[in-house]
Structure 1
Amino acid sequence: MSNDDSHTLNIAYLGPEASFSHQAAIEVFSPSTNTLHPLPSFSAIFSAIQISTHDFAVIPIENSTNGSVVQVLDLLSQCGLDSSAQFPDIEVVAEYYLPVHHCLFVAQNSDSSSKEIRTIYTHPQVWGQCNRYLSAHFPPNQVERIDVGSTSAAAQLVSRETNGSNAAIASKLAGQRHNLVRLAENIEDEPGSNTTRFFVVRNRNSKHARTTGLEQYLSSRTGQSQRYKSLITFTIPHTKPGALADALAVFKQYHFNLTSIDTRPSRKRNWQYVFFVECEEADNGGTRGIHGEEGNLQRLLADLQRFTESLQHLGRFQDQLQREDGIQSKT
């Protein structure tokens, strides 16, 4: 993405370099016109956006195989225009779907074949994503599996090895960055189906983050068919029978389709939960404009507040899934 002013954007992502988060950041924000910064943790990313040392951040929110990234959900529960929020100025402005493909790598100077591999390094989530391939070629009773912090860290570790018995499962980008030899590619269980969804977040008060044309950029990729999602978090009075049903009924009343529901402990009191709801407005065969949709959203939020203990609207952004898969949501 290019800027529409002279300001070079600072983009944060979960490091190290050559991770899938890095790849997503590259695809959303061109490194030729922006500066991409690897940060060591999700909490460091949220802090950097809150104090505006970075303009945007690209963070993984869920994987089609392994589900939600709970660390990110916990941080998002601390966002919103609330006096007690740790990150009150952070909002979600876009989503991005990155197809995930895993490769098996060995070091350039190892002269190793797959038959000689005795140890494989990768991120813990990858084992489940590549279970069929690993079970067929590297059963756990013959090959040791060692967890590392990221797939790019696995690639970096193997690049330093010389004994020829170690391998890494990582992305093509990581293999190229660390000059590795690729023994196999697309080893995930269902090639083409393993996808990670990322959120793009910003500080709502940042001048540069508000004038970059990100929405226009994504609009051009989506085409004429545009739907908008909203991310809403809320808590309910758990002792009141039907409290959750009452809250969810509001979405149907205002013709919003629930595309995702998740929960996390509130950490404010035991057995209280934060509900994360993503929703999009139903087309209903009409051509409602963006301002009309926003007005309907505000009415929904006002009504929803009657059935919740706390309520935060964390962002409104274009639905990119219909561009990727041609999916049209229906109520």
Structure 2
Amino acid sequence: MTRIAFLGPRATFTEQALRSMPEAAGADLVPCTGSPAVLDAIRDGSADLGCVPIENSVEGAVPAVLDGLVVDPPLVIVREAVLAVRFALLVRPGTGIGDIRTVASHPHAIAQTRGWLADRLPGATVQTSASTSEAAAQVARGEFDAAVSAPLAAEQHGLQILADDIADNAGAVTRFALVSRPTPPPPPTGHDRTSIAATTENRPGALLGLLTELAVRGIDLTRIESRPIKDRHAEYWFHLDCTGHVAEPAMGEALAALYRRCDRVRFLGSYPRAGNGGSTAAPATSPLPIVGADAERFAAAQKWLDEVRSGGTA
């Protein structure tokens, strides 16, 4: 039976997103405390797949997940899901609004309800938990007075919904990634996303050169974010999401060009998109020529690309 780790405990938004994916049918779903623990479970073989939140439409990317995807051994994203998030204030039965002195939740949930909490609970201390459901469990254990969580967690932990739909921004969504050890990417669907991370030499125009390799091939860049390299001062991983699939010629050319140009490139997966669209512009048919490039670097880049397409650990 397939074992799939997810950000737990039970009744998190991550579990809801995971259950919408076909891989969850008939699988053993294993809750973990924190997204890093999910990624560790995949790497050590105690789970075949893992589901983690990777990006929120209000608060942006989840730093712990971005950082966890670029350490060794490599991992890749094989599917994503987008879930509309609805937050409720959960308390133990009998607790009134005036009784609340402490509130707990995941940092992204706190960020999305900060205005509501400041307006309705100005004197409460807000603290962070590993997940929204863990915050609900902590309230049930008496560690906090209230939790910002999914309404589903109230039934799971025997709590009462004191206030519902408390997000400051209506319509917020979170994107979740299903992660695996390196494996051949799912076949192209014509509606795909490719995720990569790259580091470049710190010199003028280095990042512009990286982005140009995508632009001249008509590839739509849908997200870029920098994260510090933990053991190198003032050096960064650039995380990029693009529309397209590694099996397609334009994307393959772009990735090979990045491999030649960058210090390091980490392929993080090509997989079907689950929302937030992208450009419908036709890909460029005539990429700019690269003059005077080292033949050995071209050969090395092609070898790396072939390994990526076949599910290797390049």
TM-score by length of 1: 0.76
Q: State which drifts further: 266-275 or 196-205.
A: 266-275
Aligned ranges 1:151-190 → 2 under 5 Å = 151-161=132-142, 166-190=145-169
Q: 297, 311, 314: which one pairs with 2:268?
A: 314
CA deviations 1:30-68 (Å, max 9, x no partner) are 766111001223333223222433221111111112111
Q: Retained in 2: the 8 A contact 1:23–1:173?
A: no
CA deviations 1:210-244 (Å, max 9, x no partner) are 7xxx959x97xxxxxx41111121111113x3122
CA deviations 1:4-55 (Å, max 9, x no partner) are xxxx221111222222222222222576611100122333322322243322
Q: Retained in 1: the 8 A contact 2:7–2:14?
A: yes
CA deviations 1:230-263 (Å, max 9, x no partner) are 1121111113x31221111110111100000011
RMSD over aligned Cα, in angstroms?
2.6
For 1:133 and 1:12, how far apart are their aligned partners in 2?
32
Q: Retained in 2: the 8 A contact 1:107–1:160?
A: no
Paired residue for 1:286? none
Paired residue for 2:50? 57
**Hey, which bits of structure 1, 4+ residues long, moved more than 3 A?**
29-32
Q: Give how far 1:149 is off.
A: 2.8
Matched, 1:304 2:258: yes
Structure 1 residues 131, 230: CA separation in 2 closer, same or farther (over 3 Å shift)? same
Q: Retained in 1: the 8 A contact 2:7–2:34?
A: yes
Q: State which drifts further: 36-45 or 254-263.
A: 36-45
2:42 counterpart SS class:
helix
- Alignment gaps of 5+ in structure 1: 1-7, 79-85, 220-225, 282-289
Q: 131, 134, 144: which one pairs with 1:150?
A: 131
Aligned ranges 1:162-241 → 2 under 5 Å = 166-191=145-170, 193-205=171-183, 226-239=190-203, 241=204
Matched, 1:66 2:20: no
* One-letter amino acid matched to 2:265: L
For 1:270 and 1:144, how far apart are their aligned partners in 2?
34
For 2:41 and 2:266, how far apart are their aligned partners in 1?
21
For 1:308 and 1:275, how far apart are their aligned partners in 2?
11
Q: Retained in 2: the 8 A contact 1:59–1:199?
A: yes
Structure 1 residues 257, 187: CA separation in 2 closer, same or farther (over 3 Å shift)? same
Structure 1 residues 32, 242: CA separation in 2 closer, same or farther (over 3 Å shift)? closer
Q: Retained in 2: the 8 A contact 1:16–1:40?
A: yes
Q: Retained in 2: the 8 A contact 1:21–1:59?
A: yes
* One-letter amino acid matched to 2:60: G
Aligned ranges 1:273-288 → 2 under 5 Å = 273-281=236-244
- Alignment gaps of 5+ in structure 2: 282-314
* One-letter amino acid matched to 2:54: I
* One-letter amino acid matched to 1:200: L
For 1:304 and 1:12, how far apart are their aligned partners in 2?
32
2:68 counterpart SS class:
helix
Paired residue for 2:296? none
Q: Give how far 1:328 is off.
A: 4.6
Q: Give how far 1:126 is off.
A: 2.6
Q: Paired residues, what number? A: 281
2:213 counterpart SS class:
helix
